[in-house]
Structure 1
Amino acid sequence: MTSVHVTALDGVVHVNSLFTIAVFVGLSLAAPGQRSLHNSSTCEAGIDAPKKLLVFEVLSFSSFLFSSLVAQGLKLAINLLNSKDVHEAAKAHIDVRILRFGMLGSAFGSMMGCLFLMLSMVSVMEIRLGTLSCGSKSAVQAVAGMTILVTSALVVYTTTTVYAFLRTNFNMLDTKIP
């Protein structure tokens, strides 16, 4: 059962790494003086858009880093505790409460990171396509499409995470702490 948890934690760390790359790509777009592709100068994003972009990118990066570090910490604990008992390769002596809390914390960090990344992408779209308040058709379409897809993905991720969390029989793990 423990190897399944390690595999799940590996997946979280890998996905967070990909999202972290997206954060740095977004940060490269936060340069002052960026011009919109929109024809009207009234639709140009003000100085607040790059500021919001930076804030959301930092929050996104922090959330993904939090999630990855929690997942890596759990993996490290499982692997180190597992190395003490070579006869039971699939079990580690780990406190179930720590494992449950850590996995929920890691999932929460990933969800918050995705939310902040989506908000930063809204700022990128306003900088490059024109502000939403101006009614820039391209910006509204891009933000609407992204919001629908990302929100749907977050609902599926949250639902499956909660479902798996509630359905997992954590009693199968050996809860003795050496």
Structure 2
Amino acid sequence: MSATSIHITALDGIVNVNSLFTFAVFIGLAWNPADPNNNLIDPTQPPDCSPSPKTAERLVCFHVYSFSCFLFSSLVALGLKQAIRLARDSPAHWPIDLALVNKTGLRVGYAFSAAGSVCGSVFLMLALVNVVQIKLGMLGCGGSRHGFAAVVPLVILVPSGLLIYVCTVLYAFTR
């Protein structure tokens, strides 16, 4: 497998994953957090445990930030992919190689694309924490056991996956 096809496959992977996350963001934005019929909060909880309008605002903001980051990451990845294809299809008809692509520029592009994906994932995680608070009650209240049960795996697994992703990207920079 040539270096060019490896890079194009990696960029396709970034775009595909970002597309899935972007779809999740759209589903999250389409959901109406103010819908009284879509609420799982125990009515016997104290009023302080009910989510405030600020929680719904943060939910929407984090979804928009997440969407922006995933879109940025995908656009950078698509731009890099196009640059590789243009260099590959140059009139010189050289063998498929990255010889014509500025490797420093490629690495910087990968870094920006990876940073966009990481930031988008963090914002999506924060949006999901707000969804849990809206659906199950504020996490600061003692009665939100189910909320903690939903959030704890989220805040452990997502950062762990992001750490593995960042380490892999950094390792790729050294090769």
- Relative to the length of structure 2, the TM-score reads 0.90
| Residues 51-130 of structure 1: pairs in structure 2 closer than 5 A | 51-84=57-90, 85-130=92-137
Distance 1:91 1:97, change over 3 A: closer
Deviation of the 1:121 alpha carbon: 0.3
* Residue segments in structure 1 that go unaligned for 5+ positions in a row: 169-178
1:25-80 per-position Cα deviation (integer Å, ceiling 9, x unaligned):
11122442445312125222110111000100000000000100000000001101
Question: Counterparts of 1:128 and 1:7 in 2: how far apart (Å)?
Answer: 39
Higher alpha-carbon deviation: 140-149 or 112-121? 140-149
Higher alpha-carbon deviation: 87-96 or 73-82? 87-96
Runs of 4+ in 1 over 4 A off after TM superposition: none
1:119-145 per-position Cα deviation (integer Å, ceiling 9, x unaligned):
000010101111101130011111111
Q: Which of 17, 20, 44 is the equivalent residue of 2:19?
A: 17
Aligned residue pairs total 167
- Relative to the length of structure 1, the TM-score reads 0.88
| Residues 42-53 of structure 1: pairs in structure 2 closer than 5 A | 42=47, 43-53=49-59
Deviation of the 1:97 alpha carbon: 1.5
Say whether the 8 Å CA contact 1:2–1:92 is kept in structure 2.
Answer: no
* Residue segments in structure 2 that go unaligned for 5+ positions in a row: none
Residue type of the partner of 2:155? T
Question: Counterparts of 1:122 and 1:30 in 2: how far apart (Å)?
Answer: 16
Q: CA RMSD in A?
A: 1.4
Q: Which residue of 2 aligns with 1:36?
A: 39
